Amino acid sequence: MKTLHLVLLLPFLIVFGAFFIFPLAELLLAGTGDQGIGNYLRIISNARYLRSLVTTILFSALVTAVTLVISSTVGLFLQRRRFAGRQILTTMLAFPLAFPGTVIGFLVILAGGRQGLIGVITQGVMNQRVVFAYSTIGLFIAYIYFSIPRTILTIMASAEKLDRSLEEAARSLGSSTFQVVRDVILPGLQPALIAAGAICFATSVGAFGTAFTLASTLDLLPMVIYTEFSLQANLAVASALSLVLGLMTWLVLAAARSAAGTTVAAAG
């Protein structure tokens, strides 16, 4: 039986080793370069690398927080309201999943670029062209647009399983709407919020296409890695930064998985 299990696992082990373990080992070795572990220490000692790392974390955390607020509000509304066109609207909210980051960035340029629709409208109304596509605001909007489909479907699925009788009981005891949301709905959605937030954060941390397309002045880590690799030909530092980025994302996902699992166990 053990031999059969090993034979069945062999294809997975081969793929896992060839496409995960081997590339990760190569990345680790490439990150050491001529300076060994010093390349990894440079990420902390070099002001630009450290600033880029902190900026990426804070920016992704803000995107995650805003995305969860929007997704929770809209997801609960769509889950509990029935109206004409609801199914179409729900489908359209998931539509951005079909777009890569470069397309999302291009859509923001079409809306808020120098020749974008919003600029044309504001030029006609206020005689002043509003351009935001190439700023931090434009990048933030693009990340939100890119992240909402990755969270709202998870939250809607979780909201469908909430016990409405608990909310009715809370209201019958005199709880306000805010108290019901705080004490009943949010705790019930907590596992979904943690899981969706982790995915949103991980996606934002590693997003490259959108940041590259919008050419924002914000110095995010994926752009720094691209610059070090393609423009500076600094393979060792680019590899070290990539490994740190991947490790940071993995830690967030692992912590979220542990927290969500603990929450589910406690709730049960």
Q: Which of 234, 216, 30 is nearest to 141 (CA)?
A: 216
Q: What are the pLDDT digits (tens) for 225-250?
A: 888 878 777 788 888 888 888 888 88
**Residue 105 in domain:** no
CA-only gyration radius of the chain, Å: 23
User: Residue 59 — pLDDT band, cuts 50, 70, 90?
Assistant: very high
Q: DSSP label at 217?
A: S
Burial 2-21 (b: 16+ CB within 10 A, else e): eeeeeeeeeeeeeeeeeeee
pLDDT for residue 2 is more than 80: no
Query: For residue 57, with 0-12 CB atoms within 10 Å meaning exposed, 13-18 middle and 19 or more buried, which class applies?
Result: middle
User: Tell me, what amino acid is at 187?
Assistant: P
Sign of CA dihedral 23, 231, 248, 66: negative
CATH code of residue 206: 1.10.3720.10
**Residue 26 in domain:** yes
Interaxial angle between packed helices 86-93 and 47-80, expressed in degrees from 0 to 180 and rounded to the nearest 10: 170
Q: What are the pLDDT digits (tens) for 198-226?
A: 989 988 988 888 888 887 778 888 888 88
Sign of CA dihedral 22, 57, 155, 181: positive
User: Residue 1 — pLDDT band, cuts 50, 70, 90?
Assistant: low
Contact 147, 72 (CB under 8 A): no
Using CA atoms, how far residue 209 sits from 114, 136, 251, in Å, is: 20, 15, 23
Structure tokens at 123: 């030029």
**Residue 247 in domain:** yes
**Residue 44 in domain:** yes
Structure tokens at 45: 């000692």
Q: What are the pLDDT digits (tens) for 135-163?
A: 888 899 999 988 998 899 889 888 888 88
Place of tokens 């709202």: 152
**Residue 118 in domain:** no
pLDDT for residue 111 is more than 60: yes
User: Residue 127 — pLDDT band, cuts 50, 70, 90?
Assistant: confident
**Residue 115 in domain:** no
**Residue 19 in domain:** yes
Structural domain count of the chain: 1
Rounded Cα–Cα distance for residues 145 and 89 (Å): 15
Rounded Cα–Cα distance for residues 29 and 114 (Å): 44
More confident residue, 126 or 233: 126
Reported as type and span, the H/E element at residue 21 is none
Q: Is residue 227 classed as helix, strand or coil in its secondary structure?
A: helix
Using CA atoms, how far residue 31 sits from 28, 44, 45, 148, 234, in Å, is: 5, 14, 16, 34, 10
> What residues make up the domain containing 75?
8-82+152-267
**Residue 253 in domain:** yes
Contact 207, 222 (CB under 8 A): yes
Contact 260, 195 (CB under 8 A): yes
